Chain A
Amino acid sequence: MTRHETIAAETGAQAVLSARNVAKSYGSVQALKGVNFDVRRGEVTTLFGENGAGKSTLMKILSGVIQPTSGEIVLDGAPVHFDSAAEARDMGISIIHQELSLAPNMNVRDNVFMGREIMGPTGVNYAEEGRQTRALMRELEEDIDPLTPVEELRLGQQQLVEIARALSVDARILIMDEPTSALSASEVEVLFKVIHDLKARGVSIVYISHHLEEALQITDHAVVLRDGTMTARAPRREIDLEWIVHNMVGDNFDLGSPPRGHEMGAPALSIRDLVLPDPNRPGRNVVDGVSLDIRAGEIVCIYGLMGAGRTEMLECAAGRVANSGGEIRLNGADVSGLSIAQRIEKGLVLVPEDRQRDGLVQTMSVGENLSLASIGAFTRGLFTSRRKEREIVDRSIREVTVKTDGGGAPIGSLSGGNQQKVVIGKMMATRPGVIMLDEPSRGIDIGAKAEVFRLLADAARERGLAVLFSTSEVNECLSIAHRVVVMRRGRISAEFGTGTSKEQIMAASGESAE
C-alpha cells in the first residue's frame, strides 16, 4: 500500500481523475480490493488484466454507473460523488461500455443522442443531430446512414455507433472498455487516429483491451489489475508485451501451434458454391460462391475484414439463415434443409459472434446457459437428471475456465470475458463433430484464449473435431490453424498453409499491413 501511495503522490499532479482505495463487493464476491488508479491528464492510460480482474467494475465506478463499496473518487484534486452516469457525463466523463448499450429498434442518430437530444424551438432538432452524427461517422470513416436502425447493422458497426455516441459528448475524460473487440484492423487504425486527435485536444483517455499489441501502440502509461488489486504500473518506455503478460497472468502464454501427429479424416463439413444475397443491397451477395472443405481433425481459420461475409457464411452453415444457392454437407450428407436443432443433433454447431444477442439467455443462471444446448444429454425419459446436469455444467466450467462462484450464479454477474467462455462452453458441451466459432476470442484474455485454443486443438487431435473459426486478429490465424482462408467481399480471396506470414494474410484481405 505504501508504495502505491508514494506513486500516487508522485503522479498526483498529472492525474485528472483518480480512484483512491476503491473497493467494490457483490455479496461475497470482492471485485475490487482497494485500488488506486489515476487517469493521467492528456494521456492514454491503458488498463490490462485477465477476465474478471475488475477492469470494467473500476471503469463503471469512475463513470458513475455503479457506486463503490468504499473509497473515493477524486476529480481535479477534489473528492466527488456520482449518483448516476448522467451526473458523471455532465462533469465531462464519458464511457464506452464493453457490452453494447444501444437500443436496437432505434436508428443510429437517435442512439447517438439518446438522453441528450438537441432541442430546437419546435422540439428535437433532428436535422442538427443528423448532421453531427454524419460528421462523427465521417471521422470514424464508416459510411453509415444516421437513419439506419441499429439492429440492421453488423456487430462491428454497432460498436462504432457506441464509440460515436461517446465521442459526441465532447468529454474531457473518455473511458473505452474494449472498444475494438468487434472491429478489424483497419477500423482500429481509424479509431487510433481519432484517439490521437483527442489527445492533441487535451482529452484524457482510459483504454482497455485484450488485444495487447494493439493497445501497446497507443499506450502512454500502462496499469495492470489482477484479482481486484493493482499489481503494476509503468510508462510506455519501460514496458513491452512480455511485461504485460507477465504481470497479468504470471506466465508467458503462446497461442499454441497446429496439432500434429493425427490422421485427418474425410471432409466433415463441405460447403459448395454457397450464395447469400445481401438483404440491404439487392443484386449483390454477401456470400458469393464460397466453397470450403474442412476435414475431421482439421482446424481452419477464416480471416477477413468487417463485412467480408464471414459471419453470414457461418450462420448459413449453422442453419440460422437459408442460403439461396449452394449446398452444405456434413459427413457427406446434405444438411441444407435441416433446422438449427437438427444440425446440432448431427454435430454441427455454431458459437455466435454477438454473445448478448445470440449467445446468452440473460434470465438464466450460468449453469442453465451452459447446459442449454445439451438438454437431451441429461434427460432420462421425461425428466432431466440434476446430477447429470451438474456433471456437465461442472465439467464445462472447468474446461473453459469460467470464473464464477458456481453454476447457480446469474449470468449477468460474470465479467464480459467469462460470459464469452460460457457461450463457447455451451456449444462444446454438446460434443460436436464440427464446431464453427465466430470470433471466439472476443473479449477473452490471453490466458483464456490459449486455454480455449488448446481445448480445440486437443479435441481435434483426440476426437477428430473439425474446427472452423473466424478472427480479425492476424496473430490468431498463425496459432492452431492448419489452414488460413481469407475472405474478401463474400469470396475466398486466398488460402494459406501454416508457413505463411501476417503480411501475406493481410494483403489478401485487402488491408495494408500497417
Chain B
Amino acid sequence: MSDTTATSAAGRSGPGIDPVKLLLEGRAFFALIAIIVVFSLLSPVYFSVNNFLIMSSHVAIFGLLGLGMLIVILTGGIDLSVGSTLALAGVCAGFMMQGIELSWLGVTLYPPVWVVVILTACVGALVGVVNGVLVAYFKVPAFVATLGLLYVARGIALLLTNGLTINDLAGEEALGNQGFAWLGFNRLLGVPIGIIVLAVVALLCALMLNRSAPGRWIYSTGGNARAAELSGVPVRRVQVLVYVISGICSAIAGLVLSSQLTSAGPTAGQTYELTAIAAVVVGGASLMGGRGTVRGTLLGAFVIGFLSDGLVIIGVSSYWQTVFTGAVIILAVLMNSIEYKGGRKAPKPVPRKSAPA
C-alpha cells in the first residue's frame, strides 16, 4: 500500500488525486461500506447498535491476530501458529485462574487477574521467541517453523487440559482474583473492552511502524533484507522481535476470547491463522513483505468479520459463507496485483521484486 510511504516518509509531493488510485487504496474501506449497506438492506437486524457491538467483539479477535500477523508479514515472514497460541494462552490463563497448586509446599496460589494477564502474554512471547529464533538463526523457512509451532502449541494446550474445556474463569471474591470477565463483557462508554484493547494495540503498532526505528527496520527487512543488513539494520533481531510481537498479540486475543466465552478450550481458534492472514491481505499488504499498514489490516479485519457475521444473520448456509469469504479474499488479492504491477510492466517475466529502472 503506497500510503505507508506517504505517512512515514519525508513527505510525498502529491500528484493530483487519481480516482482509480483512490479506489484501489480505499478498496477495503469501500468493501466495508458495501457490506454494511447490502446486509442492512437484506436484514433489519443488521443495522443496529447492538449488532454492531456484537460483531465488533468478533472483529477484535481477528484484528488482534491480524496486527501481529501484519508485522510478521511486513518482514516477509508468516506466522501460522497464532490460532494455536491463542488457545494455549487461553488455557494457561484458565489454568492460573483455577489456582496454581504448589504441591511440595502444600499451598495453592491464586494470582490476581493482572498477574494472569502478564504471565499469559509471556507465554505468547515465548512461542514467538521460539518461532523467531528458528527463522532468524536456524534459517528454518517461516512457513515450516510456524507450522511446527502450530502443532506443538495446540498439543501443549490439549495436554494441559486433557482435552477438556476450563469453564470456571470467574474467580472468587475471597481469593481476590475476580474480574477476568471484565475483558470480554464490560463496556467503557458503551464500547466493548475488546475493541478498546484492539484500538490500543493498533495505536501502539502504528506508532512503532511509522514513527520508530524498529518500524523502519521491519519495513526494510521485508523490502530487501540484504540491503537492510548492509545499512546496519539488525535483521535477525528484527525477525525475532516480530514473532514475539505476534505471539503477544495472539495471547491478548486468547485472553479476550476466553473472557468473552467465560471458558478456555484447547481447541479454540482453529484456522484463525488463516482468517488473520486474510485480514492482512484484504488490507492491502503484500505477502512478499515490505508493504502494508495497520489501518489496512484493521479494515481487513472489519471486512471479514462483518461479512461472515452478516452471512450468518441473513441465514446463508455455512457452506455458502465459506464460498463468499473465499471470493472476497481472492478479489482483494487480485486488486493487490493490479496495484503493485499495474502500469509498469516487469521487463521480462522473471521473479525479481524490483521495478525496472
In the complex, which residue of chain A has the Cβ closest to the Cβ of B216? Answer: A375
B205 within 8 A of A: no
A363 with B291: CB separation less than 8 A? yes
Q: How far is the CA of A77 from the CA of B315 in the complex (A)?
A: 66
List chain A positions with a Cβ less than 8 A from chain B.
Answer: 27-28, 56, 60, 65-66, 84-85, 95, 97-99, 101-103, 105, 114-115, 318, 320, 339-341, 344-345, 350, 352, 356-365, 367-368, 371-373, 375-376, 379, 382-384, 386, 389-390, 393-394, 405-410, 412-416, 419, 426, 430
Offer 23 A-B interface pairs, CB within 8 angstroms, sorted by A. Answer: A66-B345, A98-B357, A99-B357, A101-B352, A114-B348, A318-B230, A320-B229, A350-B230, A359-B230, A361-B227, A362-B355, A364-B219, A364-B290, A365-B12, A368-B5, A368-B10, A368-B216, A368-B220, A379-B213, A384-B211, A384-B213, A409-B12, A414-B357
With A365-B9, A372-B231, A383-B211 as contacts: A99 and B348 at CB distance below 8 Å:
no
Option from B216, B290, B344, B350 in Cβ contact (under 8 Å) with A102: B350
A344 with B232: CB separation less than 8 A? yes
B229: chain A residues at CB < 8 Å are 320, 340
A84 with B345: CB separation less than 8 A? yes
B13 with A362: CB separation less than 8 A? no
Q: How far is the CA of A419 from the CA of B90 in the complex (A)?
A: 50
Number of B residues near A (Cβ < 8 Å) is 48
A368 with B9: CB separation less than 8 A? yes
B11: chain A residues at CB < 8 Å are 367, 390, 406-408
A341 with B227: CB separation less than 8 A? no
B222 within 8 A of A: yes
With A56-B357, A361-B290 as contacts: A115 and B348 at CB distance below 8 Å:
yes
B12 with A341: CB separation less than 8 A? no
Q: How far is the CA of A98 from the CA of B356 in the complex (A)?
A: 9
The 8 closest A-B pairs by CB, nearest first: A408-B12, A412-B355, A363-B290, A361-B223, A363-B223, A406-B13, A367-B10, A344-B232
A389: chain B residues at CB < 8 Å are 10
A361 with B224: CB separation less than 8 A? yes
B230 with A97: CB separation less than 8 A? no
Give the distance to chain A from B236, nearest Cβ to Cβ, in Å: 10
Q: How far is the CA of A99 from the CA of B354 in the complex (A)?
A: 9
Q: How far is the CA of A340 from the CA of B352 in the complex (A)?
A: 26
B234 with A379: CB separation less than 8 A? no
Supplied contacts A383-B212, A389-B10, A408-B12, 14 more A-B pairs, CB within 8 Å: A56-B357, A65-B356, A85-B348, A97-B347, A318-B230, A344-B231, A344-B232, A357-B224, A358-B226, A364-B219, A364-B220, A408-B5, A410-B5, A419-B357
With A115-B349, A408-B10 as contacts: A373 and B231 at CB distance below 8 Å:
yes
In the complex, which residue of chain A has the Cβ closest to the Cβ of B219? Answer: A364
Total residue contacts A-B, CB cutoff 8 A: 168
Give the distance to chain B from A86, nearest Cβ to Cβ, in Å: 8
B230: chain A residues at CB < 8 Å are 318, 320, 340, 350, 352, 358-359
Q: How far is the CA of A409 from the CA of B9 in the complex (A)?
A: 9
Give the distance to chain B from A193, nearest Cβ to Cβ, in Å: 27
A372 with B220: CB separation less than 8 A? yes
Interface residues of B in 330-357 (CB under 8 A from A): 344-357
Q: How far is the CA of A405 from the CA of B10 in the complex (A)?
A: 12
B220: chain A residues at CB < 8 Å are 361, 364, 368, 372
A390 with B10: CB separation less than 8 A? yes
In the complex, which residue of chain A has the Cβ closest to the Cβ of B207? Answer: A383
B322: chain A residues at CB < 8 Å are none
B228 within 8 A of A: yes
Give the distance to chain B from A442, nearest Cβ to Cβ, in Å: 12
With A98-B357, A416-B357 as contacts: A371 and B10 at CB distance below 8 Å:
yes
A341: chain B residues at CB < 8 Å are 232-234
B8 within 8 A of A: yes
Give the distance to chain A from B316, nearest Cβ to Cβ, in Å: 38
> Which of B15, B345, B357 has the most chain A CB atoms closer than 10 A to its own CB?
B357
A372 with B216: CB separation less than 8 A? yes
Q: How far is the CA of A360 from the CA of B354 in the complex (A)?
A: 9
A101 with B356: CB separation less than 8 A? yes
B6 within 8 A of A: yes
A426: chain B residues at CB < 8 Å are 231
B10 with A386: CB separation less than 8 A? yes
B357: chain A residues at CB < 8 Å are 56, 98-99, 412, 414-416, 419
Give the distance to chain B from A294, nearest Cβ to Cβ, in Å: 20
Q: How far is the CA of A226 from the CA of B276 in the complex (A)?
A: 51
Give the distance to chain A from B44, nearest Cβ to Cβ, in Å: 45
B347 with A379: CB separation less than 8 A? no
Option from A103, A318, A357 in Cβ contact (under 8 Å) with B351: A103
Option from B5, B211, B228, B286 in Cβ contact (under 8 Å) with A372: B228
Give the distance to chain B from A304, nearest Cβ to Cβ, in Å: 21
> Which of B223, B227, B351, B353 has the most chain A CB atoms closer than 10 A to its own CB?
B227
Q: How far is the CA of A344 from the CA of B231 in the complex (A)?
A: 8
Interface residues of B in 205-260 (CB under 8 A from A): 207, 211-213, 216-217, 219-220, 222-224, 226-234
Q: How far is the CA of A362 from the CA of B345 in the complex (A)?
A: 15
B355 with A407: CB separation less than 8 A? no
Give the distance to chain A from B208, nearest Cβ to Cβ, in Å: 9
B234: chain A residues at CB < 8 Å are 339, 341
In the complex, which residue of chain A has the Cβ closest to the Cβ of B8? Answer: A368
**Chain B 9-25 interface mask (CB, 8 Å, partner A; 1/0):** 11111010000000000
**Chain B 281-302 interface mask (CB, 8 Å, partner A; 1/0):** 0000010011100000000000
A98: chain B residues at CB < 8 Å are 357
Q: How far is the CA of A345 from the CA of B231 in the complex (A)?
A: 10
Q: How far is the CA of A13 from the CA of B124 in the complex (A)?
A: 74
Q: How far is the CA of A358 from the CA of B232 in the complex (A)?
A: 12
Give the distance to chain B from A27, nearest Cβ to Cβ, in Å: 5
B6: chain A residues at CB < 8 Å are 408
Option from B13, B223, B231 in Cβ contact (under 8 Å) with A408: B13
